[in-house]
Structure 1
Amino acid sequence: MKKLTKFKRIVTRIIVLTLVLSCAGGVMPSTFTPNAAELYSDKEKYISYNEETEMYEYSFYDAYVYDIDATPGQIMLDIIPSTGSNYYNYYYHKKILITWHSYNGENAAQYDYENQKLAESIQPESRINIKFAAKNKYDDLSYKDGYLGWESHKDFYVSQIISIRNSDEHIYGDINDDGIIDSFDVVTYQKYITDNLQYKLDETQFLNADIDLDTEITNEDCRQVIDFTLGSSKGFNGATNIGSIRIDNTVSQAMSLGVKNDIDFATAEIKFGVDVLKKCYDPEKNNTENILISPLSISSALAMTANGADGDTYEEMEKTLGNGLTLEQINEYMAYFISHLPDKDKEKVYLADSVWFKNDPTLKIYYEFLEKNRKFYNAEIYKSQFDETIIKDVNNWVNKNTKGKIPRLIDSFNIRSNTAMMLLNTLYFESEWQEPYIDTIDGTFTDLNGQKHLIKEMHSEEYQYFDLGNADAFKKPYLNGDYSFVGILPHEDVTFNEYVANLDGKELADGLREYADPETIRLCVMIPKFKYNYQKSLKDILTKIGMEKAFDPDNADFSNINDLSVEGALPLYIDDVLHKTKIEVTEKGTKASAATAVIMGMGAAPPEEKKTIVINLDRPFIYMIVDKNNVPLFIGAATQLSEN
Structure 2
Amino acid sequence: MEGLCRANSLFALDLYRALSESNAAGNMFFSPLSISAALSMVYLGARGDTAKEMEKVLSFRSVSDVHSHFERLASTINKPSASYILKLASRLYGEKTFKFLTEYLDSTLKLYHADLQAVDFIGESDKSRQLINKWVEEQTESEKLYEKVFWIKDKIKDLLQFGVINELTRLVLVNAIYFKGTWMYTFEAFNTREMPFKINQNEHRPVQMMYQKEMFPFRDIPEYELQVLELPYKKEELSMLILLPNETQDGSDNLLKLESELTLDKLLDWTKRDKMSMHMDIEVHLPKFKLEVETSLSKKLQEMGMSSVFQDTKSDLTGMSRQSGLFISAVIHKAFIEVNEEGTEAAAATAVMVECDSFVNFQSFTADHPFLFFIRHNPTNSILFLGRFRGPS
Instruction: Tell me which interval the TM-score lies in, with the shorter structure as reference length.
Output: 0.7 to 0.9
Match of 1:444 among 184, 196, 208: 196
Corresponding residue SS for 2:345: strand
Off by >6 Å, runs of 4+ in structure 1:
none
Aligned to 1:335: 71
Taking the TM superposition and a 5 Å limit, the aligned residue runs for 1:329-478 are 330-340=66-76, 341-344=78-81, 346-360=83-97, 363-386=98-121, 387-400=125-138, 401=140, 402-439=152-189, 440-448=192-200, 450-460=202-212, 461-467=214-220, 469-470=223-224, 471-478=226-233
TM-score, normalised by the number of residues in structure 1 = 0.54
| Cα distance, 1:404 vs structure 2 | 2.3
Give the whole-Å Cα distance in 1 for the aligned partners of 2:351 and 2:270. Answer: 32
Aligned to 1:486: 241
User: Counterpart amino acid of 1:639?
Assistant: R
- Determine whether 1:504 maps to 2:263: yes
Aligned to 1:574: 328
Give the whole-Å Cα distance in 1 for the aligned partners of 2:174 and 2:278. Answer: 46
Check conservation: 1:462, 1:476, Cα contact below 8 A.
no
Corresponding residue SS for 1:416: coil
Give the whole-Å Cα distance in 2 for the aligned partners of 1:593 and 1:472. Answer: 27
Corresponding residue SS for 1:391: helix
Q: Provide structure 1 residue ranges, at least 5 long, that are not aligned to the other structure.
A: 1-260, 565-569, 605-609
Aligned to 1:555: 314
Measured against aligned partners, the alpha-carbon deviations of 1:384-412 in whole angstroms (never above 9, x if no partner) come to 11122111110111011322211211122
User: Counterpart amino acid of 1:406?
Assistant: I
| Cα distance, 1:559 vs structure 2 | 0.7
Corresponding residue SS for 2:10: helix
Match of 2:37 among 300, 312, 316: 300
Give the whole-Å Cα distance in 1 for the aligned partners of 2:198 and 2:274. Answer: 28
Give the whole-Å Cα distance in 1 for the aligned partners of 2:173 and 2:57. Answer: 18
User: Counterpart amino acid of 2:74?
Assistant: I
Give the whole-Å Cα distance in 2 for the aligned partners of 1:506 and 1:414. Answer: 38
User: Counterpart amino acid of 2:387?
Assistant: G
Check conservation: 1:291, 1:638, Cα contact below 8 A.
yes
| Cα distance, 1:345 vs structure 2 | 5.1
Measured against aligned partners, the alpha-carbon deviations of 1:541-588 in whole angstroms (never above 9, x if no partner) come to 111222122112221111110022xxxxx4211111000000000101
Give the whole-Å Cα distance in 2 for the aligned partners of 1:457 and 1:482. Answer: 25
- Determine whether 1:586 maps to 2:340: yes
Taking the TM superposition and a 5 Å limit, the aligned residue runs for 1:260-339 are 261-262=1-2, 264-282=3-21, 287=25, 289-322=26-59, 324-326=61-63, 328=65, 330-339=66-75
Give the whole-Å Cα distance in 2 for the aligned partners of 1:270 and 1:446. Answer: 29
Give the whole-Å Cα distance in 1 for the aligned partners of 2:365 and 2:177. Answer: 29
Aligned to 1:567: none
Query: Mean Cα displacement is larger for which, 509-518 or 583-592?
Result: 509-518
Distance 1:271-1:333 versus aligned 2 partners, 3 A rule: same
Give the whole-Å Cα distance in 2 for the aligned partners of 1:456 and 1:524. Answer: 16
Give the whole-Å Cα distance in 1 for the aligned partners of 2:34 and 2:276. Answer: 34
| Cα distance, 1:368 vs structure 2 | 0.9
Identity %: 27
Check conservation: 1:266, 1:509, Cα contact below 8 A.
no
Give the whole-Å Cα distance in 2 for the aligned partners of 1:448 and 1:305. Answer: 41
Check conservation: 1:462, 1:525, Cα contact below 8 A.
no
User: Counterpart amino acid of 1:634?
Assistant: F
Corresponding residue SS for 1:414: coil
Distance 1:325-1:526 versus aligned 2 partners, 3 A rule: farther
Corresponding residue SS for 1:415: coil
Corresponding residue SS for 1:413: coil
Give the whole-Å Cα distance in 2 for the aligned partners of 1:431 and 1:587. Answer: 11
| Cα distance, 1:351 vs structure 2 | 1.2
Check conservation: 2:126, 2:163, Cα contact below 8 A.
no
Measured against aligned partners, the alpha-carbon deviations of 1:565-614 in whole angstroms (never above 9, x if no partner) come to xxxxx42111110000000001011000000001111128xxxxx47442
| Cα distance, 1:417 vs structure 2 | 3.2
| Cα distance, 1:286 vs structure 2 | 5.1
Task: Report the aligned-residue RMSD.
Answer: 2.1
Larger RCO, structure (CA 8 Å, separation 6 or more): 2
TM-score, normalised by the number of residues in structure 2 = 0.87
| Cα distance, 1:467 vs structure 2 | 4.8
User: Counterpart amino acid of 1:615?
Assistant: F
Check conservation: 1:318, 1:325, Cα contact below 8 A.
no
Check conservation: 2:188, 2:211, Cα contact below 8 A.
no
Quick check: which has more Rg, 1 or 2? 1
Give the whole-Å Cα distance in 1 for the aligned partners of 2:272 and 2:74. Answer: 23
Distance 1:370-1:466 versus aligned 2 partners, 3 A rule: farther
Give the structure with the larger strand fraction. 2
Distance 1:305-1:479 versus aligned 2 partners, 3 A rule: same
Give the whole-Å Cα distance in 1 for the aligned partners of 2:58 and 2:303. Answer: 13
